[in-house]
Amino acid sequence: MAKKKQKLWVVVGDSVMGLNHVKNNIPCQDSHLYEEMENGWGIAIVADGAGSADYSHQGSQFVVKEGMSLFKKIVTENKWTTSKKLPEQDKWHKLAKTSLKQLRNMLAKEAKQTNKELGQLASTIMVAIFSPLGILCTHIGDGRGGYSNSKGEWKPLFTPWKGEYANETIFLTSDIWADKEVNKFVESKVINEKPFAFTLMSDGLEMHSFECSVWDEKEEKYYDPNRPYQKFFNPVVNGLVQMKQNRMTDDEIKGKWNKFLREGNEKIKNEPDDKTMIIGAYFPNGTS
C-alpha cells in the first residue's frame, strides 16, 4: 500500500465578501489557493482583483489557479523539496519574475480568448513558498504577508506597493514589464529563518492585523511600520494549532475561519473591502 504523504503544516484560508461588495452586489474580487507538496514544502497564493476592473474576480481566480501550477513546477524542477538549503536571492528573484511575466502573458491570452481587455482582469498577486527551512515570497501590488519564528516574533514578508493614494496600487496586468525598472514593482525575498507560522492577506484585512498607520513621536508624523500585530496573529495561530490538536477536520477548521473572516470582531465585520487571509502553522512532527 502506498505510504500516505505526511503533512507538516496546518493551513487554513478563505476569501469572503466585504460589506461594500455585499451592499452593492459586487462579486468577491479576492481569490486564494494553498497546497502542501512534500517534505513540508507548500505554496500559498492570494490575488486581489482591481475594484475598477469589470472582470477582476475572474482575473484573480485565473491568477491563483495558474500561478499555483507555475510555482509548483518551479519547486519540482529545482528539486527544492529534497534540498538542504533555500535558493540564493538572485536565483529566486529571476525565477519569480520570469514566472510572473509568464502568468501575465497567460492572462493576456485568456483575455483575448474571452473577448476582454487585459485591464478588465486586473489583479494583484502574492506568493509564499513555505518550507521547514524558510520562506520564498514574491508579489506585485498591495496586500500583506508575514511570518513568525520559533520565538513567536512576527515579521513582514514584503512591502506592499502603494501609490500616492491609499487605494492605489499596481497589478500583474499593469504596464510594468517593459520598464527597465521592473524590479521596483516585482519584489522577491528569501527568508532564511525557520518559520513557525506564516500569513498572506489581501489589503481588506491589513488594518485589522498589521500596524500600518501609526504615529511616530520623533518625526511627528504618521508612518507605516508594516508590522504584523502579535496580539492578532499569536492567538489566531494558537487557535489553529489547538483545533488541529483537538482533531477537528480541515473542513471544520475552515468553517471556523470563514466565520472569523466574516464576523471575527466589529472591525472585521464592518470592513467594506473583500477579505482574504491564509494562515499556516508548522507541525515538525506531522499533523496527525
Geometric angle at alpha carbon 71, from 68 and 74, rounded to 5°:
150
Choose the stretch contacting other proteins; rule: CB under 8 A; options: 36-44, 102-110, 145-153, 207-215: 207-215
What do you get for the CA distance between the two ends of the chain, in Å?
Answer: 19
Contact 203, 145 (CB under 8 A): no
Residue 209 C-beta: closest distance to other proteins, Å: 7
Residue 254, C-alpha cell as written in the block: 475552515
- Name the residue nearer to other proteins (CB basis): 80 or 233: 233
Q: Looking only at residues 138 through 177 of this chain, which bind other proteins when binding is defined by CB under 8 A?
A: 142, 162-169
Considering the rule CB under 8 A, would residue 25 count as an interface residue with other proteins?
no
Binds other proteins by CB under 8 A, chosen from 14, 30, 36, 48: 48
53 binds other proteins (CB under 8 A): yes
- Judged by CB under 8 A, which of 6, 51, 110, 287 binds other proteins? 51
**Sign of dihedral through CA atoms 22, 24, 28, 30?**
negative
**Does 18 participate in binding other proteins (rule CB under 8 A)?**
yes
Residues with Cβ < 8 Å from 209, sequence gap 6 or more?
Answer: 144, 199, 201, 228, 229, 232, 233, 277
Name the minimum Å distance from CB 220 to other proteins: 8
Part of the chain binding other proteins (CB under 8 A), chosen from 59-67, 153-161, 188-196, 254-262: 254-262
Of residues 133, 137, 240, 278, which one binds other proteins by CB under 8 A? Answer: 240
- 245 binding other proteins? (CB under 8 A): no
Q: What b/e readout covers 150-162, taking b as 16+ CB neighbours within 10 angstroms?
A: eeeebebbbebbb
Of 21, 29, 36, 285, nearest to 171 by C-alpha is 29
- Tell me: does residue 260 bind other proteins (CB under 8 A): yes
User: Is residue 27 a contact residue for other proteins (CB under 8 A)?
Assistant: no
Contact 121, 104 (CB under 8 A): no
Nearer to other proteins, 78 or 249 (CB): 249
**Which CB sits closer to other proteins, 99 or 174?**
174
- Nearest to 63, CA basis, from 129, 146, 127: 127
* Strand pairing category for 210-211 and 227-228: antiparallel
Residue 229 in the binding site for other proteins (CB under 8 A): yes
Beta bridge partners of 46: 32, 126
Residues that bind other proteins (CB under 8 A): 18, 20, 24, 48, 50-53, 119, 122, 142, 162-169, 207-216, 219, 221-224, 229, 231-233, 235-236, 239-240, 242-243, 246, 248, 256-257, 259-260, 264-265, 267-268, 270, 272-273
